[in-house]
Amino acid sequence: MARHVAVIGGGSSGLTCIKCCLDEGLEPVCFESSNDIGGLWRFKETPEPERSSMYRSLVVNTSKEMMCFSDFPMPAHYPNYMHHSMLLNYLRLYAEHFDLLKYIHFQTTVLSVRQRHDFSHTGQWEVITEDRDGHKETHVFDGVLVCSGSFTHPVTPLSAFPGIDTFPGKCCHSWEYKDPHSFNGKRVVVIGIGNSGGDIAVEISRVTERTFLSMRGGAWVVSRLSTGGLPLDMNMISRLSALLLQVFPRALLSWAVERFYNQKYNHRLYGLQPSHRMLDQRPIINDELPGRILQGALQVKPNVREFRGSTVVFDNEAIEDGIDAVIFCTGYKASFPFLLSSKNNDPVGEVSLYRRVFPLFLEHPTLAFIGYSCPKKATLEVDYIPYLDSIAQEIGVRPNLLWLFLTDPGLGLRVLFGPCTPYQFRLCGPGQWDGARQAIFTQWERVAQPFKTRPIPEHKTSGLHYWLSLAGGVMLIFALIQLQKRNKLFFSV
């Protein structure tokens, strides 16, 4: 008899959990409180309590080849970094392709999840739900997968800012922010230098009289564009990079990476440089922030010390008068009100979750948190591949590089030196996908496809370049031969 599994949430994590359950012969039932799939990636004009929210202009900061599902590449014509609406469309394509929608109960809210009285023997859970008509129902499941997201409960630390109660202007959290129109001609302080803080500060700086970006500790800011204009993560996240990070001292590599990025613009000069090294925390992804600072449209400030009415005092004693609005980009708190276990005070803490998925205090591993795997202090290269490999090793899907080099050298080279795209974990073992090899061989073609919007003629001098290069190579070989002869003559004397 197949085991029944509850999937809470119909976003990207929930959808792939439904499919994985089906692949393993389980019977999933997904509960989604809204009337559609997408979770975070479903834009709503007005924020809804207990649900994630995003701004209208949001563009993903992970490229399409790195963020796609491992057995379902994104359409080749999609841009490498896409608007949120295109990502939602991709989720629809995924759900339709694998026929997942029929397993989702829409407009059904999970009220409680608790262990059954015989949990120590069965590991089963009692789940109470409520539909849109107010009808409550009790279910029994053999397992529960929590995919409800971690961007639903914004944190606004007003108590950390003395005098905020005297501020007469508008205060809001990035969770509420949709577009810059209401800030036209205003003087605005944005507090927080996460990805949202950087995006919002850049966007509103185009319409405000002045935008101040206040940060407590600074940040390393990098662009989505890497060498040759290619996606940053496609160039940076590879098994070779992960190997180098294990071999060389982190301090040395941090120095080299910081030197590389500071050549484009000096983080210290721009007021951005943090106290931590670049490989110790995740950098901020933002293509335009340095440019807005360079133009004077955005000014970097230290932490806010206090408010005095519409006057803001910063830690360096700087004072800005006539502030009209404050936007708090101060993060979120993971909250799961439907979990009734008193032991589960911090379900996504680094200590309480095995592999950041399974609660350690349970007798049976029948409850899992999906999509909470990014540590607060992690860089693109340091934790990503080792974390995935550690799980893949347990499942039996970690690619064997030695075997690949012996049996399929072309694939082995791409797996080692190329980007660590999700397809690598579909090459072998449970869930093996026949299209994984081809997806790896064609991944750079899909990167290039959206750029092919205008035919570029070949340079007429390309033949000349070839012959010049060939001549240079011949001259180099000749010079090396002559040098070797001279060395032999010298040593014979």
Residue 240 within any structural domain of the chain: yes
Residue 474 within any structural domain of the chain: no
Q: pLDDT, tens digit, for every residue of 274-284?
A: 999 998 888 99
pLDDT at 374: 79
Q: pLDDT, tens digit, for every residue of 178-192?
A: 999 999 999 999 999
Same domain, 318 and 352: no
Residue 37 within any structural domain of the chain: yes
The answer, yes or no, to whether residue 342 has pLDDT greater than 80, is no
Reduce the DSSP state of residue 222 to 3 states and report it.
Answer: strand
How confident is the model over 34-39, as a mean pLDDT? Answer: 96
Residues 6+ apart with CB under 8 A from 246: none
Higher local confidence (pLDDT), 335 or 79: 79
The answer, yes or no, to whether residue 473 has pLDDT greater than 80, is no
**What is the pLDDT confidence band of residue 346, given thresholds at 50, 70 and 90?**
low
pLDDT at 120: 93
| Domain end marker among 316, 350, 373 | 373
**What is the pLDDT confidence band of residue 489, given thresholds at 50, 70 and 90?**
very low
How confident is the model over 403-429, as a mean pLDDT? Answer: 96
The answer, yes or no, to whether residue 461 has pLDDT greater than 70, is no
E runs forming strands in 177-237 = 187-191, 210-214, 221-222
| Strand-pair partners of 122 | none
Structure tokens at 299: 């000014």
Same domain, 132 and 35: yes
The answer, yes or no, to whether residue 38 has pLDDT greater than 90, is yes
> What percentage of the chain carries pLDDT values higher than 90?
79
| Strand-pair partners of 113 | 127, 339
Same domain, 196 and 283: yes
For the chain, state the CA radius of gyration: 27
Cα–Cα distance for residue pair 307/365, rounded to 1 Å: 49
The answer, yes or no, to whether residue 490 has pLDDT greater than 50, is no
Cα–Cα distance for residue pair 424/242, rounded to 1 Å: 15
How confident is the model over 117-138, as a mean pLDDT? Answer: 96
Same domain, 65 and 40: yes
Helix 12-23, helix 84-97: angle, nearest 10: 20
The answer, yes or no, to whether residue 405 has pLDDT greater than 50, is yes
The H or E element containing residue 211 is: strand 210-214
| Domain end marker among 318, 342, 373 | 373
Reduce the DSSP state of residue 12 to 3 states and report it.
Answer: helix
Residue 36 within any structural domain of the chain: yes
How confident is the model over 457-477, as a mean pLDDT? Answer: 68
Residue 406 within any structural domain of the chain: no
The total number of structural domains in the chain stands at: 2
Residue 40 within any structural domain of the chain: yes
Identify the CA nearest to 174 among candidates 42, 316, 325: 325
pLDDT at 376: 47
Give the distance from CA 458 to its chain's centroid: 38
DSSP single-letter state for residue 164: G
pLDDT at 24: 95
Same domain, 206 and 250: yes
Q: pLDDT, tens digit, for every residue of 349-363?
A: 545 888 889 999 899
Cα–Cα distance for residue pair 64/57, rounded to 1 Å: 17
Cα–Cα distance for residue pair 260/423, rounded to 1 Å: 30
Cα–Cα distance for residue pair 156/5, rounded to 1 Å: 35
Same domain, 120 and 242: no
Task: Count other C-beta atoms under 10 Å from residue 438's C-beta.
Answer: 12
Give the structural domain span for 342.
4-151+333-373
Same domain, 118 and 166: no
Cα–Cα distance for residue pair 250/457, rounded to 1 Å: 44
The answer, yes or no, to whether residue 341 has pLDDT greater than 80, is no
**What is the pLDDT confidence band of residue 465, given thresholds at 50, 70 and 90?**
low
Q: How many residues does the chain have?
A: 493
Average model confidence (pLDDT) for the chain? 91
**What is the pLDDT confidence band of residue 480, given thresholds at 50, 70 and 90?**
low
First to last CA, the chain: 88
Q: Which residue has the tokens 């933002």?
A: 286
Q: From residue 58, give the alpha-carbon distance in Å to each of 185, 360, 370.
A: 22, 36, 23
CB 185, CB 208: distance < 8 Å: yes
Cα–Cα distance for residue pair 179/203, rounded to 1 Å: 8
Same domain, 14 and 91: yes
| CATH number of the domain residue 146 falls in | 3.50.50.60
Same domain, 78 and 182: no
CB 282, CB 379: distance < 8 Å: yes
> What percentage of the chain carries pLDDT values higher than 70?
90
Burial class (CB in 10 A: 0-12, 13-18, 19+), 431: middle
The H or E element containing residue 30 is: strand 27-32
Task: Count other C-beta atoms under 10 Å from residue 484's C-beta.
Answer: 10
**What is the pLDDT confidence band of residue 50, given thresholds at 50, 70 and 90?**
confident
> What DSSP assignment string belongs to 171-183?
EEETTT---SGGG
How confident is the model over 260-289, as a mean pLDDT? Answer: 94
The answer, yes or no, to whether residue 406 has pLDDT greater than 90, is yes
Cα–Cα distance for residue pair 63/6, rounded to 1 Å: 30
Reduce the DSSP state of residue 133 to 3 states and report it.
Answer: coil
How confident is the model over 45-62, as a mean pLDDT? Answer: 94
Residue 424 within any structural domain of the chain: no
Q: pLDDT, tens digit, for every residue of 59-112?
A: 999 999 999 999 999 999 999 999 999 999 999 999 999 999 999 999 999 999
Higher local confidence (pLDDT), 465 or 225: 225
Residue 136 within any structural domain of the chain: yes
Cα–Cα distance for residue pair 402/406, rounded to 1 Å: 6
Cα–Cα distance for residue pair 48/50, rounded to 1 Å: 6
Task: Count other C-beta atoms under 10 Å from residue 35's C-beta.
Answer: 10
**What is the pLDDT confidence band of residue 389, given thresholds at 50, 70 and 90?**
very high
Q: Which residue has the tokens 């399974």?
A: 358
Same domain, 97 and 110: yes
pLDDT at 104: 98
Reduce the DSSP state of residue 35 to 3 states and report it.
Answer: coil
Same domain, 104 and 209: no
Looking at 14-23, 85-94, 207-216, 236-245, which range is the least confident one? 236-245
**What is the pLDDT confidence band of residue 43, given thresholds at 50, 70 and 90?**
very high
pLDDT at 458: 78
Cα–Cα distance for residue pair 452/466, rounded to 1 Å: 25
| Strand-pair partners of 139 | 127
Structure tokens at 345: 């005070």
Same domain, 66 and 182: no
Cα–Cα distance for residue pair 8/262, rounded to 1 Å: 44
Region of 47 please: left (phi>0), alpha (psi -120 to 50) or beta. beta
**Angle CA 357–361–366, to nearest 5:** 55
